[in-house]
Each structure stands twice: as structure tokens, then as C-alpha cells.
């Protein structure tokens, strides 16, 4: 509390004025400005603030960059202060932008809680299911959602596809109910449950000298060129885990962010590729690619369903989680048509290995008890 003494010829007046911080003042001004903005402007600003890049925000929101710039400009006009500043080649939030982002996140969270509350009232016959998957999942996951939707009519689906970095950011920002990936984060407070095996294979063009050979030694791959997903992706990390000490000896000649482009590069003869078997079924049918019979392959990892531990899942998300745990493995095998019966050299001992490890099955049982 600040006290001001005012002298006058007749008396000494004292006025008491509450002391507030600059942050509190800014936040109050921002909340007043919020009365004039639209939810569209709010979402555009929040995306631009997360990415610190208007072009990336435009891609996320499926808008043009000029449209994003226009929304941000109108948003800043309501606030009355600049929200972004450029220093060199980088974009940063101003103090006003930082406060505005705080307000925007709070409003988004309240809206999400209201949506979840309505979904609770509707039960699993309605509501919206928000699922984010890594890029390898987009080859089959829409059909998994369709299978779930057949027994749950009235549900709306929001499916987004990401690379690993983007997916983890989506999860951290609470922008999705459930995330589907291969390698759950170790530095976030999440629940991660394996629900289906995820085999990885080595693919080549049909004309490659190793095509058709049996029991190819893994050491033979040291003399081949590889075309791979970018460093840091789930596929790159899985490849590193599977090859272990051999990994540094592999010749990764090209890194590409698109699985489809990698397959086309393999077809063109640029090299071999370590890929999810769930991404190549159409290419195998078309005869564009072949799976090499390499010792120790297919390498079996798992698909995981991940959500924030403290998140209150809406009924539709809980129902979908139960669906994946009970039917996901068999459903995905039918959809991608790549299981033990179609593996190269399937009579090998490793082909009879259980699709999900004992530790993974134990984690599934623990999660089932939590539902």
C-alpha cells in the first residue's frame, strides 16, 4: 500500500493507493483487451508464440502466412503494444506478448475444461477424441479410428500427425488427449502403455544384390548406404537402439524428414532403409520394395499410448484407450498385413517371439487397473 501526503493551506490529506506490480498492471490491461478479440485470433497468436515463427504457425493452422500476419496485427492493435520483436534473425516475445500468451493459455485451458465437462455429460456416444501420432502412424491410424467409430457413433475425431519433436511439444502443451509413439518421453510426467508390436525391417529395391538372399549377416550392412529419417526422430532413435554398437559403422548417406521420400529414394537406388514395417505394405504389394532377410530382423519394438499423468481423460479418450489395449494389436496386424506369417525367414527362432515383451505386458496390466 502506498500513502501519499498532500499538503493544503487548511489540512493535510492522505490518500491510500494500492501498490501493484507492472506484471499485474499488464495482466489487467490484457484482460480488458481480451474483450475485443476473437477465439481465432487467440489460437493464431498462441501458435505463433509457441513456434516464434509465423510460417510454422501457418502450417500448423493450415493457413497462409499472410493470414497469420493479419490476425497477429489485429490482435496487437487490440492490445495496444507490440507482441513480437526481431533481434537479428530470431523472433522473441515482448513483455506484452509474454503476458498475452499467459492469458491466452489460461483461456484455452478453461475452454478445454468446458469441452471435457460437456463430453462427460454426453458419455462415449459423443464428444471429440483428440489423438496425435508420429508420422509412421498415419499409414494405418485413420483406419483404427474408423474401427473405433463404428461402435461409437456420434464421436468427432481430431487426428494430427507429427515428427517426434512436434509430438512431444503437442503433449507438453496439453493440445491432445492421447499421443501414439514408439519411444515415450523419459523427462515428462506421463503414463505410457504399450498396446501393439511395432516391427522394423531393412528394405531395398528388388534389383539390389542382397534381395532374395537368406540369413544376411548384420555385418554385411556396414558396406551399404542407408537413406534414413532425420536425427532425433523416432525411427532414427529406434535404429540406434536396434543396431547398438554397430550403428556408428553404418553409412547413413542421406537424412530425409519424409518416410515417403525415403521409400522413393530407395526405389531409385540411393541405398537401403531401416523403416517401420507398418509403412511399407502398399510398396511390397506393388513390388517397389522388398524386405531383406537380415539376421535379427524384424526388430520388434512397441507402439505406446501416452498421456499426461495428471490429465483427466474425457470418457471418449478412456474408451479409446481401452479399445487399443484390447484390440489394437490384432487390428493393426490385419490393417497393415505384416505379421509373423509374412516375415522373411519366418521359420527362424526370433519370428516366434511374443509380439509384446513381458515387461510391456505388465505395464499394460497396470494401466488396465488404473482405468
Over residues 169-186, the pLDDT tens digits come to: 989 988 899 999 999 999
Domains of the chain: 15-107 (1.10.10.10), 124-196+305-349 (3.40.190.10), 197-300 (3.40.190.10)
What is the per-residue pLDDT across 220-240, written as a single tens digit (0 to 9) for each? 999 999 999 999 888 999 999
Report d(CA 303, CA 211) in Å as an integer: 28
Report d(CA 127, CA 115) in Å as an integer: 8
Report d(CA 16, CA 342) in Å as an integer: 81
Q: What are phi and psi of 70, to 5 degrees?
A: -65, -45
* Residue 68 burial by Cβ neighbours in a 10 Å radius (0-12, 13-18, 19+): buried
What is the per-residue pLDDT across 46-92, written as a single tens digit (0 to 9) for each? 888 888 888 888 888 888 988 888 988 888 888 888 889 888 888 88
Highest-scoring range by mean pLDDT, 12-16, 37-41, 97-101, 144-148: 144-148
Report d(CA 188, CA 170) in Å as an integer: 12
Other C-beta atoms lying within 10 Å of the C-beta of residue 340: 14
pTM over 0.75: no
**Measured between alpha carbons, how far apart are the two ends of the chain, in Å?**
51
Report d(CA 251, CA 226) in Å as an integer: 6
Amino acid at each position: 500500500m502506498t500513502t501519499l501526503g498532500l499538503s493544503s493551506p487548511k489540512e493535510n490529506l492522505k490518500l491510500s493507493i494500492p501498490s501493484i506490480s507492472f506484471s499485474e498492471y499488464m495482466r489487467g490491461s490484457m484482460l480488458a483487451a481480451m474483450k475485443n478479440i476473437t477465439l481465432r485470433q487467440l489460437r493464431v497468436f498462441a501458435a505463433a508464440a509457441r513456434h516464434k515463427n509465423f510460417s510454422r504457425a501457418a502450417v500448423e493452422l493450415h493457413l497462409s502466412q499472410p493470414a497469420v500476419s493479419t490476425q497477429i496485427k489485429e490482435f496487437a492493435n487490440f492490445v495496444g503494444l507490440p507482441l513480437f520483436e526481431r533481434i537479428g534473425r530470431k523472433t522473441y516475445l515482448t513483455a506484452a506478448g509474454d503476458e498475452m500468451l499467459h492469458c491466452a493459455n489460461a483461456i484455452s485451458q478453461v475452454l478445454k475444461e468446458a469441452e471435457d465437462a460437456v463430453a462427460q455429460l454426453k458419455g462415449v456416444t459423443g464428444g471429440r477424441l483428440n489423438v496425435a501420432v508420429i508420422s509412421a502412424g498415419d499409414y494405418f491410424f485413420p483406419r483404427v479410428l474408423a474401427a473405433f467409430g463404428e461402435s461409437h457413433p456420434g464421436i468427432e475425431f481430431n487426428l494430427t500427425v507429427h515428427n517426434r519433436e512436434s509430438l512431444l511439444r503437442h503433449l507438453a502443451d496439453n493440445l491432445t488427449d492421447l499421443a501414439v509413439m514408439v519411444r515415450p518421453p523419459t523427462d515428462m510426467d506421463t503414463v505410457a502403455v504399450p498396446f501393439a508390436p511395432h516391427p522394423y525391417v531393412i528394405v531395398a529395391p528388388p534389383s539390389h544384390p542382397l534381395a532374395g538372399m537368406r540369413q544376411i549377416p548384420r555385418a554385411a550392412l556396414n558396406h551399404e548406404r542407408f537413406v534414413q529419417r532425420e536425427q532425433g526422430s523416432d525411427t532414427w532413435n529406434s535404429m540406434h537402439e536396434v543396431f547398438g554398437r554397430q550403428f556408428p559403422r553404418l553409412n547413413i548417406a542421406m537424412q530425409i524428414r519424409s518416410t515417403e521420400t525415403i521409400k522413393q529414394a530407395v526405389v531409385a537406388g540411393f541405398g537401403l532403409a531401416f523403416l517401420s514395417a507398418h509403412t511399407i505394405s502398399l510398396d511390397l504389394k506393388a513390388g517397389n520394395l522388398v524386405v531383406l532377410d537380415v539376421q535379427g530382423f524384424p526388430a520388434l519394438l512397441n507402439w505406446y499410448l501416452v498421456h499426461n499423468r495428471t490429465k483427466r481423460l474425457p470418457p471418449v479418450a478412456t474408451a479409446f484407450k481401452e479399445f487399443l489395449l484390447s484390440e489394437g494389436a490384432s487390428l493393426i496386424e490385419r490393417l497393415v498385413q505384416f505379421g509373423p506369417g509374412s516375415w522373411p525367414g519366418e521359420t527362424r527362432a526370433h519370428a516366434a517371439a511374443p509380439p509384446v515383451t513381458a515387461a510391456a505386458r505388465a505395464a499394460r496390466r497396470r494401466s488396465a487397473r488404473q482405468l
